[in-house]
Amino acid sequence: MMSHSKIPTYRIKQGCSLVLLSLCLACNGSSVSDEAIMKVSDEWATASTNHLYASLWELTKKGIMLGHQDDLMFHNVSGESSNDSNIKLICGDYPAVFGWDLGSIETNSAFNGDSIDFESIKQNIRKAHQLGGIVTLSWQVSNPAKSNQTSDCTRYSAIESVLPKHPNHALYLTYLDRLADFFSDLKDENGMAIPVIFRPFHSANDLKYWWNTEQNTPEQYKQLWAMTVDYLRTNKKVNQLIYAYSAFNVKNLDEFLRYYPGNDYVDIVGSEVYFSLENDPDGDIFKHDLERNLLVITTFSRNNHKIPSITEIGLEGIKVFNFFSEYVYPIVTKYPVSYMLFWKNARNNHSQYFIPIPGHPACDDFVSFVNRPNILTCREI
């Protein structure tokens, strides 16, 4: 048995959660029952999954959780790597949210697209869970239309090809079987399923993915999402997932809603916003984009009772040294967002990083940013 001091904070009694959330919702005038909001869309979800979801709601009142993709895969500019936390090396604590991608698991590969083997990802998920952190997993799945590349968009109607009674449906189900095997193996030291946030088919409005909005209709995208979720929930009995739907730099609420799979299939909503120095040297575009996206996401969240988040954010190389304190912090803290996930410090590309490497000029700014009371690291949740 895990000692009480090591039990992740989100493993709380649901009764306590209901009381706390009731107070929050009373202030917002919600007409939906507290208990309904606190539960994920999966009616067969494990108790720990619903407890985690309730905790995510509560934590939005305390601050914004700091997240990082591939965090337990530290590297430095000289190319040295280790299984340590990028963020902990800079600020002394782990992030609250740990992200990894499961792309290529569907092809039976031992490694994902970031050159991280899936067994290491499982170990890191268990470590993050034991630390009390929260895990989010994206799935940049390969194009099943005779291709093994996520970004192969040369074959039109790829989604249609995997729907029932179409040529690649059986193949896609094998993809889901392998994905389900991975989830089913995520157990804690007591043999209980570890709850995770799952974010498939993200950025449909970014045309580089085969599930994009140009080559597939909104109805096809929604069918793909529903088919995937239903198969995992009912056929494979994977019931520890909190489903996140995210779009890339949305222009308005209508764009966000166009491909939204529906409240029965989504628990968290988010957007992805990046700072591109090449096109935006002053950062004004980034600031406006971030503000607009947060307004869209939190408006939708308020009306649909879904947890709002920033599922991806960052400036590659962090060449603006006050990026965190002057460009991100003043905007994100105006909104009740659950977490923000900074993108990866790539293990297979040592010039690609979104969290400062030790010795980087942005280190002091990042530490100042993290030390703000409403930016939450692992030990603060």
Pairing of strands 97-101, 241-248: unpaired
pLDDT greater than 90 at residue 286: yes
Q: Annotate 306-332 with DSSP letters as a single string.
A: -EEEEEEEE-GGG-STTIIIIIIHHHH
Torsion-angle region of residue 85: left (phi > 0), alpha (psi -120 to 50) or beta?
Answer: beta
pLDDT greater than 50 at residue 25: no
pLDDT at 115: 86
- The residues with which 217 forms a beta bridge, in sequence order, are none
pLDDT at 147: 62
Contact 298, 335 (CB under 8 A): yes
Least confident of 10-19, 69-78, 264-273, 288-297: 10-19
> pLDDT > 90: what percent of the chain?
77
Q: Tokens at residue 188, please? A: 């804690």
Q: Tokens at residue 282, please? A: 């002053």
Q: List the domain boundaries for the chain.
A: 64-380
Largest CA distance in the chain: 56
pLDDT at 373: 96
Total Cβ atoms within 10 A of residue 215: 18
Pairwise pLDDT comparison (249 vs 352), residue with the higher score: 249
pLDDT at 356: 93
Torsion-angle region of residue 241: left (phi > 0), alpha (psi -120 to 50) or beta?
Answer: beta
227-233 long-range CB contacts below 8 Å, 24 or more apart? 227/163, 227/164, 228/176, 228/200, 228/201, 229/261, 229/265, 231/173, 231/176, 232/176, 232/179, 232/180, 232/183, 233/42, 233/44
CATH architecture of the domain with residue range 64-380 = Alpha-Beta Barrel (3.20)
- pTM value is 0.90
User: What's the rounded mean pLDDT across residues 172-199?
Assistant: 97
Specify the residue for token string 């083997």: 117
Q: How many Å apart are CA 237 and CA 136, to the nearest integer?
A: 19
pLDDT at 362: 97
**Mean of the per-residue pLDDT values of the chain:** 89
pLDDT greater than 70 at residue 144: yes
User: What's the rounded mean pLDDT across residues 166-187?
Assistant: 97
Helix axes of 14-28 and 47-59: crossing angle, nearest 10 degrees: 40
Q: How far is CA 232 from the centre of its chain?
A: 18
pLDDT at 154: 64
pLDDT at 30: 44
pLDDT at 7: 40
pLDDT at 6: 39
Torsion-angle region of residue 249: left (phi > 0), alpha (psi -120 to 50) or beta?
Answer: left
Measured CA angle at 328 (ends 252, 319), to 5 deg: 115
Residues 29-42 pLDDT 10s? 444 567 767 899 99
pLDDT greater than 60 at residue 18: no
User: What's the rounded mean pLDDT across residues 82-111?
Assistant: 93
Q: Tokens at residue 207, please? A: 């045309």
